[in-house]
Amino acid sequence: MSTVAELFEPLQLRDLRIPNRVWMSPMCTYSAEDGFPSDFHLSHYASRAAGGAGLVMIEATGVRPEGRITPWCLGLWSDEQIPAFRRLADAITAGGAVPAVQLAHAGRKAASNRPWKGGGALPPGDGWPVVGPSAQPFPGHPEPAPLDREQIAGVVASFAAAARRALRAGFQVAEIHAAHGYLLSSFLSPASNHRDDEYGGSLANRARIVLEVIDAVRAVWPDELPVFLRISTTDWITEDTRHDRRGWTVEDSVELARLAGEHGVDLIDASSGGVEPAPVPDRRDYQTALAARVRDEAKVTVGAVGRITEPGWAEELLTTGQADAVFLGRALLRDPSWPNHAAVALGATPRFLEQYGYAV
Ligand SMILES: Cc1cc2nc3c(=O)[nH]c(=O)nc-3n(C[C@H](O)[C@H](O)[C@H](O)COP(=O)(O)O)c2cc1C
């Protein structure tokens, strides 16, 4: 490994060489129509690739229409959507980054409004019926209809079908969204999963749908290409929060990460929270410390995320063995060229498009 900056060293996952370790975290832009990406998405993602990110992850993309967080979220539930996604994958690749997409089902938090319109559940009539592991609603949202076994199998099949479409569109990484209280995450946490069948109760049962989705995606995703899993390493539910049921803990995450690795997941994208409203510690390392624990104890490859804004600290997360890569969220919204600026700050070589590189 170079002594200049580990952030700008490639990461090999299966046969895929990701050119550096500064990656764009999936972030909804609530700007799609019927799930189709628009010119806004094209310029948004292309400029983050041009700014030097090693991997650009497209925001949460519904595997079914009713699995979208909002009516303005992206979707890959139809073959007709493939060409518009191909434009995104091609533009990201042309910018020098690896194109990745996050496949998602919003579960009981679906049918919401855009955050800049106040967020929360859409008024009845504007949204659609939501589903979940059990009838417990997310606070302020309608009661979800519990999925039966046949419907669970349908959701699993939809993840695989969406992955197949993502592959046809040219994406090289598929990320399964099992974080933030959305459908898969709501099965994982005892706070939201009150089932007493084989999809509830023990950790093995609560994780069953996630492992089924991983297996189904892996069955259609080439062996040469990686699959990521985003998890909430904790849902921050403690005895102090309003819940009488325990939440999902970092110990659970270590176990899930191990199982996910056995099922063919190549990287754990270690986020947190979202299952219930709960206070989050006000510390820079609130989330990265949990990523480090999962990496250390489960012996898996981990991407850290959350409040990473300083190049020096991002580099330290890698050099101290807390993460293998960093995902940037809001820092990349503020500055699409954050990776190139960080490269300069750390003495590494920025990556310019050839249209710019000869001139600057
Ligand atoms: C506007 C916005 C949209 C987001 N949308 C998603 C999403 O689609 N999928 C997801 O897993 N996380 C989503 N997140 C969470 C981010 O990926 C990231 O984990 C979080 O913002 C913390 O990183 P940061 O401190 O670098 O912003 C979103 C965050 C923001 C700010």
The enclosing domain of 331 has a CATH number of: 3.20.20.70
Whether residue 354 lies inside any domain: the answer is no
Residues in a beta bridge with 156 = none
339 domain residue, yes or no:
yes
pLDDT given at position 143: 97
Residues that are catalytic: 182
Q: Ligand 1: distance of its center to the CA of 197 in Å?
A: 32
**Going by CA atoms, what residue is nearest to atom 1 of ligand 1?**
27
The CB of 73 under 6 Å from ligand 1? The reply is: no
How confident is the model at residue 2, as a pLDDT? 47
For the chain of 360 residues, list the mean pLDDT of each consecutive stretch of 10.
Answer: 83 98 98 98 98 98 98 98 98 98 98 96 94 96 98 98 99 99 98 97 98 99 99 88 81 98 98 94 97 98 98 98 98 98 97 93
- The neighbouring-strand residues paired with 269 are 230, 303
Ramachandran angles phi, psi of 267, nearest 5°: -155, 135
Is the shortest distance between the CB of 102 and ligand 1 below 6 Å?
yes
Ligand 1 atom with the shortest distance to the CA of 179? 11
Nearest CA to ligand 1 atom 26: 329
- CA–centroid distance, 29 to ligand 1, in Å, is 10
pLDDT at 349: 95
If one residue of 22, 28, 338 were mutated to test the ligand 1 pocket, choosing by the most ligand atoms within 8 A of its CB, it would be: 28
CA dihedral sign of residues 266, 269, 270, 272: negative
User: What local confidence, expressed as pLDDT, does residue 124 receive?
Assistant: 86
CA of 296 to the centre of ligand 1 (A): 24
CB of residue 25 inside a 6 A radius of ligand 1: yes
Q: Please state at what angle helix 250-262 crosses helix 208-220, rounded to 10 degrees.
A: 30
Is 359 a member of any domain? Answer: no
Residue 355 domain flag: no
Expressed as residue numbers, the domain containing 181 is 6-349
The answer to the question of residue 1 being in a domain is: no
According to the model, what pLDDT value does residue 255 have? 98
Contact assessment for residue 59 and residue 130, using Cβ atoms and an 8 Å cutoff: no
Atom of ligand 1 nearest to the CA of 177: 11
The answer to whether residue 309 sits within a structural domain is yes
Residue with CA nearest ligand 1 atom 6: 27
Q: Which atom of ligand 1 is nearest to the CA of 102?
A: 9
Ligand 1 lined by 74 (C-beta under 6 Å): no
- Ligand 1: centre distance to CA 271 (Å): 9
Residue 250 resides in a domain: yes
Instruction: Tell which residue, 20, 164, 185, has the closest CA to residue 101.
Output: 164
**Ligand 1 pocket, residue 24 CB under 6 Å:** no
Cβ of 44 closer than 6 Å to ligand 1, yes or no, is no
Q: How far is the CA of 147 from the centre of ligand 1 (A)?
A: 27
User: What is the per-residue pLDDT for 243?
Assistant: 66
CA distances from 331 to 88, 241, 290, 337 (A): 21, 30, 20, 10
Q: How many domains does the chain have?
A: 1
Kindly give the distance from the C-alpha atom of residue 272 to the centroid of ligand 1, in angstroms, as a whole number. Answer: 11
269 lines ligand 1 (CB under 6 A): no
Q: Does residue 264 lie within any of the structural domains?
A: yes
